[in-house]
């Protein structure tokens, strides 16, 4: 439902590739393969300046449009179910769902929609986009890398990307300044 009109979005990056579609006839639309667990959204946060706590969001959906001959004309949109946060510690995850952190009862989703792309190499790009968390939307830049594309053993065609970015939680209305969260995004899509 979030991706019903994917062509209306301009996106690229760890979560997608973006810009206006220069040659839409050549671009292909992909659905992110979350059912096969070939995509992930992971995070890392400093804990007391002593170590790092890592986690992931287990439930998300999205898609992207990609043309290998015009990668800057690709796009992506992703929606994350915030209550799917998972740090492998039930009590911590319960706390992360409260108003101290994600406040999932009020903000059940977070999202990323790209707004532009700057190619930085043959297989790399900086993807700008709008990231919405706790009802606050801020621009972010994802350092993206094209991993590869090709036919799969089941008769389909896939393309994959990796991206990294960091966000400051204070920018998204968290009650305390919990510092910066590093996000790592692995996106494998199946062509429609």
Taking the CA atoms of the chain, what radius of gyration do you get in angstroms? Answer: 16
In terms of DSSP bridges, do strands 75-81 and 85-86 run parallel, antiparallel, or are they unpaired?
A: unpaired
Superfamily of domain 6-191: Lipid/polyisoprenoid-binding, YceI-like (2.40.128.110)
| For range 30-34, the mean pLDDT | 93
3 and 76 Cβ atoms separated by less than 8 Å: no
pTM equals: 0.83
pLDDT tens sequence across 121-168: 999 999 999 999 999 999 999 999 999 999 999 999 999 999 999 999
What are the backbone angles phi and psi of residue 122, rounded to the nearest 5°? -60, -35
- pLDDT score of 115: 92
**Kind plus residue range of the DSSP H or E element containing 127:** strand 124-133
């Amino acid at each position: 439902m979030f991706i019903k009109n994917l062509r209306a979005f301009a996106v690229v990056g760890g979560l997608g590739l973006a810009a206006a579609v220069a040659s839409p006839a050549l671009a292909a639309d992909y659905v992110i393969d979350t059912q096969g667990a070939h995509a992930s959204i992971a995070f890392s946060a400093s804990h007391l300046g002593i170590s790092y706590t890592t986690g992931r969001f287990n439930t998300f959906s999205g898609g992207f449009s990609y043309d290998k001959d015009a990668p800057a004309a690709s796009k992506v949109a992703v929606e994350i179910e915030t209550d799917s946060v998972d740090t492998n510690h039930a009590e911590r995850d319960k706390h992360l769902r409260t108003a101290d952190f994600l406040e999932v009862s009020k903000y059940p989703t977070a999202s990323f929609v790209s707004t532009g792309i700057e190619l930085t190499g043959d297989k790399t790009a900086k993807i700008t986009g709008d990231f919405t968390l706790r009802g606050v939307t801020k621009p972010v830049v994802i350092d993206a890398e094209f991993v590869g594309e090709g036919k799969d053993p089941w008769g389909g065609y896939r393309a994959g990307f990796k991206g990294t970015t960091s966000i400051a939680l204070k920018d998204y209305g968290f009650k305390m300044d919990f510092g910066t969260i590093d996000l790592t995004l692995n996106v494998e899509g199946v062509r429609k």
